[in-house]
Amino acid sequence: MRTDGTRAPLLPFRNQHGGRRAGAGRKPNGDRAGVPHDTRAVLAARFPVHVTVKLREHLPPLRRREAYATLRAAFAAGCDRNGFRLIHYAVLNDHLHFVVEANGRTTLSRGVQGLLVRIARALNKHWDRRGRVFADRYHDHILRSPREVRNALRYVLGNGKKHAAEGRAVTVAQAIDTYTSAPWFDGFRETIVVRGIEAVVRPITDAHTWLLTTGWRRHGLLSVTERPA
């Protein structure tokens, strides 16, 4: 009824069939339009994994000194737990890259989720906020060959330089990107000295897989001048 006592006209409904239909429902967008919820591939312990996770929109950038210190502390606390190992990482303004090892798919899922929960809590405390931090599921790519591993290392450690060259609000003023695990990386052709690194808690752990310790080096050490394609 309207406030004046008259009835509002009825609107006709289209024929309804009920039940679930393929393609029906509201389509995801923004933060929720991310990684498809497909079944994850089986993971053997001998293969490293490249993991990528995006932040929700409108959060502060991560490449700030205080935020990065918060992240490093979270990495250090969660880098080696129950068969999950964080070997390398890159911090960009709105997303993170990890190269990790795990004893299997279940260990990987639990390890990544545990690390992300730890990171989210630390960042929320740093930002004095509540709520979700990450936009969607993480994306993972299993690295099955020495070439794939070398390419992933080049991509992760050089991603900041790639963004800087593209003018994407990222600055890398040194030979290596110190917002990555590059200061702890021993696979560069050049000799790298990072002042003050001895005073920083190491935020990563040692690799166990042959592909990450030895295999990728068969295609040559990385150079600080290399950037991802």
In a domain, 81, yes or no: yes
Cβ partners under 8 Å of residue 21, min gap 6:
none
Report d(CA 64, CA 61) in Å as an integer.
7
Q: Strand 84-91's sheet: what is its strand order?
A: 80-81, 84-91, 95-102, 49-54, 139-142
Domain assignment of residue 26, yes or no? no
Q: Which two tokens stand for residue 62?
A: 């991560």
**Confidence band for 204, pLDDT divided at 50, 70 and 90:** very high
What are the structure tokens assigned to 172, written together?
A: 């890398």
Q: Is the pLDDT of residue 14 over 50?
A: no
Is 21 within a domain? Answer: no
Residue 35 falls within a domain, yes or no? Answer: no
Integer Cα distance of 52 and 97 in angstroms: 5
Q: Is the dihedral of CA 178, 164, 59, 87 positive or negative?
A: negative
Residue 225 lies in a domain: no
The range of the structural domain enclosing residue 47 comes to 41-216
CA distances from 174 to 32, 135, 161, 169 (A): 36, 30, 10, 16
Angle between helix 65-78 and helix 105-127 axes, rounded to 10 deg: 150
Q: What is the spatial distance between Cα 80 and Cα 43, in angstroms, rounded to a whole number?
A: 18
pTM, entire model = 0.81
Q: What angle do CA 45, 46, 48 make, to 5 degrees?
A: 90
Tell whether 28 is covered by a domain. no
Domain membership flag for residue 19:
no
Q: Work out how many domains the chain is built from and give that number.
A: 1
CATH number for the domain including 71? 3.30.70.1290
| N residues, the chain | 229
Q: Judge contact between 156 and 99, C-beta under 8 A.
A: yes
pLDDT band at 30 (very low <50, low <70, confident <90, very high): very low
- Apex 222 CA angle, 69 and 141, nearest 5: 70
Backbone angles phi, psi at 124, to 5 degrees: -60, -40
Is residue 184 in some structural domain? yes
Beta 95-102 vs 49-54: how paired, if at all? antiparallel
CA distance 175 to 168: 18
d(CA 84, CA 78): 9
DSSP element (H, E) containing 87: strand 84-91
For range 201-209, the mean pLDDT: 98
Interval 100-157: pLDDT, tens: 999 999 999 999 999 999 999 999 999 999 999 999 889 999 999 999 999 999 999 9
